[in-house]
Structure formats: C-alpha cells, structure tokens
C-alpha cells in the first residue's frame, strides 16, 4: 500500500518472494531524486528491502494486540496501556478531522502524544525494575516487544507523515484472502500475476472512490488514449481524462 501525495494505491503480489523482496522490486522503479520512503510494517525482518534506504516504522496495532490478548489475566495493567494508546489514536483522529498537514500533525503528536508515550515507556521499565511483572509471563513478553521496537513504534513523534499502524495493509490483505477462496488458488504463476494486476486496480479504485467496473470499461473504450499517456488514466484522475476526451475540438 502506498499513501504518497495523498493517494492510496494498492499493489498485490503473489509468488515465492517475501514482502521485503517484493517491495524492493517496487522501489527499484522509484525516482532517485526522491528521499527515502517511510515503510510501515510489523517487526518481522523479512518485511524490509535490503537493497534500498528506507525509514522504518513499526505498527502500534501489533503491539497493542499483544495486550488485548492477555487483558483477561492482567486487567489493570493492560487497561493502562490500552487507554494510553487509545488517547494517542484520538489525537491522530483529531488531526485528520482538522485536515492537518503532515508537519502540523507531527507537532500536535509531539505536544499531546509525546508526554503520554514517554510515561508509558517509563511504566514499562518500572514493571521489570521493581519486579512487578515476570519477564517470561505473557504480559512481560508483551512489554518486551514494545521495548525492543520502541524507536520504530514511536516514529510518528519524530517523522512527519509516519502512520501509527499498518491497518491499511491489513484490510487490503482481506481482499487477497477473499479472492483466494473464490478462485480456489491460482493454477499458474502467470494466472497469479493477472489476478494480482486486477486486484491492484480494483482495490485502488475502491480506495479512490471510483467504480471499478466503470473504470475498467473506460480503459477498454479509450485504449488508444491510454497507451499514449497512461499516467492520465489512473483510478484517481481518469475522470479528468474522460472530460478532455469528450471536449469538442476548436479549430482556428
């Protein structure tokens, strides 16, 4: 999933490569003059492309989920963690409601979420230092996960535009799972490639508020214009291309 320049783009890949290798294939086509992108993912090392410089952020939702899973056994401790993270998400929601720029959002999080995350980090350390939590317990493992990945989990406090979580990709994966169930898997590698292409187009249309069927139909009906300038026929701007194609020609 890409969110550059305010546009959400979905890219699906099926094959024998892991996520980091697939991402490296995409980044190989990235304009060299652009700075390193922000990659949001969970903490698995195989998610990272080794050949390219990136700014890595880890998913707070993955860390939060570990406390949700043990909340029944440690209700008071988990309540504090979950409520603190809930307030951080409320700050982020406020930034979206106000239409803040990435820089404004960063400043808001630094002022409001920063002190809360600092207190949470301090609380994590106290649980082990004061022997309130056994490190090998399920709660201790949840705390250790957050501590081990703290810098990347809190990138949103230092880098403009860094998201809180990877939920956008998590939701996109449901599309692939649904398609797999409907198609009963792919028969060939090429068939998988074609399926990935259409899933990418269809889900990107949904993210852009475009009707996938109408979009694909227009591509077929305007194949010549599409081949001449494909950049003008993306799910987020093809309506403008349609207007230009329909405009009458004025001759001098």
* Angle made by CA atoms 106, 65, 179, in degrees to the nearest 5: 95
* Within-domain flag for 119: yes
* Within-domain flag for 127: yes
11 C-beta neighbours (distance < 10 Å), count: 17
* Within-domain flag for 66: yes
pLDDT tens per residue, range 196-233 = 999 999 999 999 999 999 999 999 999 999 999 999 99
* Within-domain flag for 212: no
Statement: residue 185 has pLDDT above 60: yes
What percent of the chain lies above the pLDDT cut of 90?
A: 70
* Within-domain flag for 152: yes
* Averaged pLDDT, 104-109: 98
The whole domain housing 99 covers: 60-157
| pLDDT score at 248 | 61
Domain count, the chain: 1
Averaged pLDDT of the chain: 92
* Averaged pLDDT, 155-167: 96
| pLDDT score at 16 | 85
* Within-domain flag for 130: yes
CA distances to 114, 148, 180, 218 from 125, in Å: 17, 12, 44, 58
* Within-domain flag for 170: no
* Within-domain flag for 244: no
pLDDT tens per residue, range 42-87 = 888 888 998 889 999 999 999 999 999 999 999 999 999 999 999 9
| pLDDT score at 106 | 98
* Averaged pLDDT, 99-105: 95
């Amino acid at each position: 999933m890409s969110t550059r320049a305010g546009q959400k783009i979905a890219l699906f890949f099926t094959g024998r490569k892991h996520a980091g290798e697939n991402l490296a294939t995409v980044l190989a086509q990235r304009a060299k003059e652009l700075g390193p992108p922000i990659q949001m993912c969970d903490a698995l090392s195989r998610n990272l492309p080794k050949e390219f410089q990136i700014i890595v952020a880890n998913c707070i939702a993955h860390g939060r989920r570990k406390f949700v899973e043990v909340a029944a056994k440690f209700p008071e401790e988990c309540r504090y963690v979950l409520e603190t993270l809930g307030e951080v998400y409320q700050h982020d929601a406020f930034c979206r409601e106000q239409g803040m720029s990435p820089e404004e959002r960063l400043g808001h999080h630094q002022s409001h979420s920063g002190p809360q995350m600092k207190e949470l980090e301090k609380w994590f350390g106290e649980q082990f230092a004061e022997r309130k939590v056994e490190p090998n317990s399920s709660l201790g493992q949840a705390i250790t996960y957050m501590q081990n990945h703290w810098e990347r989990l809190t990138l949103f406090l230092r880098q403009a535009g860094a998201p809180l979580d990877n939920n956008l990709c998590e939701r996109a994966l449901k599309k692939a799972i649904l398609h797999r169930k409907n198609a009963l898997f792919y028969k060939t590698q090429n068939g998988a490639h074609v399926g990935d292409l259409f899933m990418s187009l269809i889900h990107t249309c949904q993210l852009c508020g475009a009707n996938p069927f109408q979009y694909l139909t227009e591509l077929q009906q305007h194949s010549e214009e599409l081949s001449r300038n494909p950049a003008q026929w993306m799910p987020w701007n093809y309506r403008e291309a349609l207007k230009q194609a329909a405009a009458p020609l004025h001759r001098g």
